[in-house]
């Protein structure tokens, strides 16, 4: 017996060699967002010559958090354990990056690695304005593909605006018959006097919106629809002028230029509340999301100051400031949605005039609204224009860089990456920061190719801040991880990312 043991050991080692081939060449894997931990070791997994993916063994492990996953390639198989189907899906996104870079390096074997990963924030959002410019259902689905690749799990769908109402509402057919088309569009930058003379429109049927919701769910992305109130309402008022302070005879129009317009819903007309509730009833029927976004931003109050109906309501309610009318409308709608088991999110202006503590605030005018809201005890999604407005320029010298016309600003990849979500907050207040989001407003973005160029690679920075804010690396390393881990996938999928975005490396 004594002499047989070493022989058996040698034979079993030989068997291991035969079944697995030579050990994997160690590769320094580059992954965005940066996983919580990566340990190398073991044999790795051969990528079959005739397949893009090795076989995946994917068990649910209820001991893990809902979005936590463990990716293990140490023993000849790709295994992903996850706390839910979503967690396993995020693990697969990591696997895509690993395979892409191994193949790029001409490798046929995934190195042995144990990756343990989970997100810091449960809300990781990306917004797309489909009103200033309209994007088809297929383009919206591609946007969902893009964000899911970056482990972004919320698609905030901006559906109503001054320049176009995009959601079919059966109770109010004129919203899309009239409100989805503008007569023409401004040419060039704001302030230009030139228009293109061409009607522009488009909308989503309810079946199409349901199709998008299902597609997103299959990618573990929740769709949050946004219905703007009380401002950004020109398209709705062009359809139903009786809902505006200027009344049924006023020729409201779907706007043809950009900006903030005085035409808002009449807060003093009870029909306005009826309209908003009926619209939201249909929206809730289409979108199962816990949150419904009710806008609330950029609503001038001059019309309310002059409107007899609005002034009568103020008197009746004992309001002394028009801001309280905004608060009244928002809280009325919030109660209506709460009865349906939904919660509201609004832009940080909903804080004006007072807001209930159950409202979630989206801080867009920098981080200060979010900081104030967190200190008041409201939940907050940080989406500061200083760091996550992807309609801003990515280079300092757009003309030299070849960047197309944008709304303005300067928001390079480096700056997105530097955002501190917990600035100025104590431990209790930090708990109110529920997530991070980037916004893509499309006044100056007319094609989906251009959307991609504004989103990529900045979505990678959003992903890191939202998934692993405490596990970010030096900026140059982050860029290296994008170039190695993500660009091969962007290329393979034909994503039109901004090549000039990396110009800022110092």
Q: Which is nearer to Zn ion, 207 or 271 (CB)?
A: 271
Residues that bind Zn ion (CB under 5 A): 245, 266, 268, 307, 309-310
Please choose, from the candidates 242, 294, 245, the residue with its C-alpha nearest in 3D space to the C-alpha of residue 266: 245
- The rounded distance, in Å, linking the Cα atoms of 382 and 179 is 31
Q: Please report where in the chains the tokens 């489909």 appear, as a residue.
A: 130
Nearest approach, Cβ of residue 305 and Zn ion (Å) = 9
Q: Which is nearer to Zn ion, 311 or 385 (CB)?
A: 311
The one-character DSSP state at 394 is: S
Q: Which is nearer to Zn ion, 178 or 310 (CB)?
A: 310
Nearest approach, Cβ of residue 318 and Zn ion (Å) = 18
Q: What are the backbone angles phi and psi of residue 422, rounded to the nearest 5°? A: -110, 15
The one-character DSSP state at 504 is: G
Nearest approach, Cβ of residue 266 and Zn ion (Å) = 3
SS (H, E, C) 413-461: HHHHHCCCCCCCCCHHHHCCEEEEEEEECCCCCCCHHHHHHHHCCHHHH
Question: What separation, in Å, do the N-terminal and C-terminal C-alpha atoms of the chain show?
Answer: 67
Nearest approach, Cβ of residue 267 and Zn ion (Å) = 6
Nearest approach, Cβ of residue 270 and Zn ion (Å) = 11
C-alpha atoms less than 13 angstroms from C-alpha of 317 in its C-beta half-sphere: 19
Q: Which is nearer to Zn ion, 29 or 310 (CB)?
A: 310
Nearest approach, Cβ of residue 263 and Zn ion (Å) = 11
Return contacts of 40-43, CB within 8 angstroms, 24+ apart: 40/111, 40/112, 40/113, 41/74, 41/112, 41/113, 41/114, 42/73, 42/74, 42/75, 42/112, 42/113, 42/114, 43/74, 43/75, 43/76, 43/112
Q: Dihedral angle at the C-alpha atoms of 409, 414, 420, 424, nearest 10 degrees?
A: -60
Q: Which is nearer to Zn ion, 311 or 447 (CB)?
A: 311
Q: Where are the alpha helices (DSSP H) in 56-116?
A: 85-104
Nearest approach, Cβ of residue 280 and Zn ion (Å) = 20
Q: Which is nearer to Zn ion, 160 or 272 (CB)?
A: 272
Nearest approach, Cβ of residue 457 and Zn ion (Å) = 46
Q: Which is nearer to Zn ion, 179 or 268 (CB)?
A: 268
Cis amide leading into 33 (omega within 30): yes
User: Which H helix or E strand runs over 500?
Assistant: none
Nearest approach, Cβ of residue 244 and Zn ion (Å) = 7
Q: How many helices (H) and strands (E) does the chain have?
A: 19, 19
Q: Which is nearer to Zn ion, 305 or 420 (CB)?
A: 305
Nearest approach, Cβ of residue 304 and Zn ion (Å) = 6
CA angle 225, 226, 230 (to 5 degrees): 155
Q: Which is nearer to Zn ion, 54 or 268 (CB)?
A: 268
Q: Which is nearer to Zn ion, 89 or 304 (CB)?
A: 304
* Token couple for 330: 């928002």
């Amino acid at each position: 017996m004594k002499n047989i043991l070493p022989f058996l050991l040698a034979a079993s080692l030989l068997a291991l060699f035969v079944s697995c081939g030579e050990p994997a060449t160690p590769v320094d894997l580059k992954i965005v967002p940066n996983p919580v931990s990566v340990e190398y070791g073991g044999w790795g997994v051969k990528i079959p010559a005739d397949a893009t993916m090795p076989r995946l063994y994917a068990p649910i492990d209820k001991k893990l958090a809902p979005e936590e996953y463990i990716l293990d390639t140490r023993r000849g198989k790709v295994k992903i354990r996850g706390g839910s189907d979503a967690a396993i899906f995020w693990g697969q996104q990591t696997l895509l990056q690993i395979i892409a870079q191994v193949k790029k390096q001409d490798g046929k074997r995934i190195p042995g690695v144990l990756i343990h990963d989970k997100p810091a924030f449960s809300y990781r959002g990306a917004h797309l304005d489909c009103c200033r410019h309209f994007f088809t259902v297929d383009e919206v689905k591609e946007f969902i593909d893009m964000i899911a690749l970056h482990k972004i799990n919320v698609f905030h769908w901006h559906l109503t605006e001054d320049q176009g109402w995009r959601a079919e509402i059966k109770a109010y057919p004129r919203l899309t018959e009239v409100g989805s088309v503008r007569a023409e569009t401004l040419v060039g930058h704001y302030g230009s006097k030139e228009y293109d003379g061409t009607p522009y429109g488009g909308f989503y049927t309810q079946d199409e919106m349901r199709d998008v919701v299902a597609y997103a769910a299959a990618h573990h992305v929740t769709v949050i629809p946004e219905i703007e109130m009380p401002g950004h309402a020109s398209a709705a008022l062009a359809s139903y002028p009786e809902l505006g302070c200027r009344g049924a005879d006023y020729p409201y129009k779907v706007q043809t230029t950009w900006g903030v317009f005085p035409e808002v819903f009449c807060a003093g007309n009870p029909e306005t509340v009826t309209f908003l509730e009926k619209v939201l009833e249909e929206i809730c029927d289409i979108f199962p999301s816990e949150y419904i976004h009710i806008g609330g931003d950029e609503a001038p109050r001059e019309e309310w100051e002059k409107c007899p109906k609005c002034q009568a309501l103020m008197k009746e309610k004992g309001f002394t400031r028009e801001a309280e009318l905004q608060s009244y409308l928002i809280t009325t709608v919030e109660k209506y949605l709460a009865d349906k088991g939904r919660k509201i999110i609004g832009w940080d202006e909903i804080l004006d005039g007072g807001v209930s503590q159950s409202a979630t605030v989206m801080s867009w005018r920098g981080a200060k609204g979010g900081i104030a809201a967190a200190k008041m005890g409201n939940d907050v999604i940080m989406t500061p224009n200083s760091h996550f407005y992807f309609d801003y320029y990515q280079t300092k010298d757009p003309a030299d860089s070849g960047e197309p016309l944008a709304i303005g600003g300067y928001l390079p990849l480096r700056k997105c990456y530097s955002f501190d979500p917990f600035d100025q907050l104590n431990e209790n207040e930090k708990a109110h920061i529920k997530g991070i989001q980037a916004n893509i407003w499309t006044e100056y973005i007319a094609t989906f190719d251009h959307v991609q160029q504004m989103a990529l690679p900045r979505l990678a920075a959003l992903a890191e801040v939202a998934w692993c804010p405490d596990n970010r690396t030096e900026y140059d390393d982050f860029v290296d991880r994008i170039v190695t881990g993500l660009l091969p996938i962007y290329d393979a999928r034909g994503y039109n990312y901004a090549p000039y975005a990396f110009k800022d490396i110092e």
